Structure 1
Amino acid sequence: MPRHAHIIFDLDGTLIDSAPAILASFVAAFAAAGRIPVRPVTDDVIGPPLTETLQLLSGSDDPAVIDTLADHFKAAYDGDGLKQTTAYPGVGDMLEQLHRQGIALHIATNKRLAPTLKILDLLGWRTYFDAIYALDMVTPRLPNKATMIGRLLAERGIAANQAAYVGDRLEDGEAASANALPFYAATWGYGAITPDALRSGWMHLPTPSADRLMTD
């Protein structure tokens, strides 16, 4: 029997390399708004919710500024931008193997729901996942990833001892721990936790591996 009946995945930096599409869309958003980012638009800004990243890049928390930038970002990214998204090598095979073994797969991501669904369709993965949760799936949006995972577990009737979370950032591990879930640190993505930063009880997943997730 597999160790976990349910596996919940982060998306950006864990299953997909969305960096080129996201970074290009941030650059396009600032250009369209006639603003210059206050810091470089590099991989390390990817991961937090869109509003937080735009506040970081703009150096502003003015709602009008952030709303304008967000609109421009969404127009760039949700159109052709997200088509630059690629799967990390081995991820498609991992998901197929887990799904074939009867493990229920889910997503809990900071990415907005609309582009998440488009990307899953683009990659042909939508049918692998039983539940797809995003911060903006409800209004007002969910406050953080820990709350989102807790909602997924509650609404799906999943006990913590039946599931695990896989992600690439410290925030992901903290959100898993907040819900008493085992955490697998995917260290192949752009937000990757370094092995020496793993906390007690967290497991290192250096490459996409269905076998590790089913047995470790």
Structure 2
Amino acid sequence: MTGLQEGARWRVVLWDFDGTLANTSGDVWGSLRYAAGRRGGSFVGGFDERDENLALPMDVIYASLCPSPDPAALPSFEEDVRVHYRSISAHPETDLYPGMRELLEELRTRGVRSRIVTNKPQGALLRILDLKGWRGLFDGWVCADSDDGVELSKAQMAARAMNAESASPDECVMVGDSWGDVVGARATGVHSVAVTYGDGDVDRLLCEEPDQVAENVEQLREILLGSSRDA
């Protein structure tokens, strides 16, 4: 592992995006409320105040609207959500988790590369990176729809990111907040770090037995770079 400064354990970090690098839930709910409002509906009973509900299938989220929506209109609801999130929303509530920018910058100074591997559509990801001025924090990205007409699994995304860096599995670490991140890491022979500060299902995440767990960004930094800081 050439080029790494003391303390860095891996040459490449493969980052999940939502719930790992950035808290995006507020703006996802914003797009869902937009689509609901176009149909004269709304979420009730605090449904849209529980981020774990974002992991539910879209048909379940749609069925929770009040008044009860027409099941046949689900495709148009999904399209309104997509259009709003990808083209209309300025993502005002999306932000990196506290300490994450500093960690990304420190990784770079230590010679560690950062690549995003995410199920988020590439158009939506790049729009957020541009709106927030975050592109320069990363060395690249692979999204589930990076291949037209083919949906990539997390393992396939990780493999592509490693190939782009000419990196072997033992030179890489996957960081994510969902069980799928751990499964993808295991399938590619990559060390996994699960973060529990995101909006993923923590019980399901830990059930996959990740190699390490971080409850906050500071713990994540210690895993990736060690406990010492430059003076």
Query: TM-score, normalised to structure 2's length?
Result: 0.78
What residue in structure 2 maps to residue 31 of structure 1?
A: 37
2:77 aligned partner: 69
Assess if the C-alpha contact under 8 Å between 1:185 and 1:193 holds in 2.
no
Q: Which moved more, 1:34-43 or 1:176-185?
A: 34-43
Give ranges in structure 2 of 5+ residues lacking alignment: 64-71
Displacement, 1:32? 2.2
1:149 corresponds in structure 2 to: 158
Aligned to 1:189: 198
Please tell me whether the aligned partners of residues 25 and 81 of structure 1 are also in contact (alpha carbons under 8 angstroms).
no
Asked if residue 175 in structure 1 is aligned to residue 187 in structure 2, the reply is: no
In structure 2, relative to structure 1, the CA distance for the partners of 1:33 and 1:180 (3 Å cut) is farther
Correspondence 1:27-176 to 2 at 5 A: 27-33=33-39, 40-41=47-48, 42-46=50-54, 53-58=57-62, 65-78=73-86, 79-176=88-185
Deviation per residue, 1:93-114 (Å, 9 max, x gap): 1111001111110001111111
> Quick one: which amino acid aligns to residue 75 of structure 1?
V
Tell me the C-alpha RMSD between the 2 structures: 3.0
**Is 2:13 the counterpart of 1:7?**
yes
Q: SS in structure 2 opposite 1:82?
A: coil
Contact 2:145/2:152, CA 8 A, preserved across alignment? no
- Does 1:213 find its partner at 2:221? no
- Return the index of the structure with the highest Cα Rg: 2
After superposition, the Cα gap between the structure-2 partners of 1:125 and 1:210, relative to the gap in structure 1 and judged at 3 Å, is farther
* Distance change in 2, residues 1:147/1:38 (3 Å): farther
1:46 CA drift (Å): 3.1
Question: Runs of 5+ in structure 1 lacking a partner?
Answer: none
SS of structure 2 residue aligned to 1:4: coil
What is the DSSP-based 3-state SS (H/G/I as helix, E as strand, rest coil) of the residue aligned with 1:136? Answer: coil
Deviates more, 1:89-98 or 1:185-194: 185-194
More divergent stretch after superposition (186-195 vs 164-173): 186-195
Q: Which moved more, 1:102-111 or 1:21-30?
A: 21-30
Shift of 1:197: 2.5
Q: 1:102 to 1:196 in 2, by over 3 A?
A: closer
TM-score using structure 1 length: 0.83
User: For residues 146 and 18 of structure 1, do their structure 2 counterparts lie closer, same or farther at Cα, with a shift above 3 Å needed?
Assistant: same
Query: Residue 201 and residue 14 in structure 1: after superposition, are their counterparts in 2 closer, same or farther (change >3 A)?
Result: closer
| CA 69–98 in structure 1, closer or farther in 2 if over 3 Å, else same | same
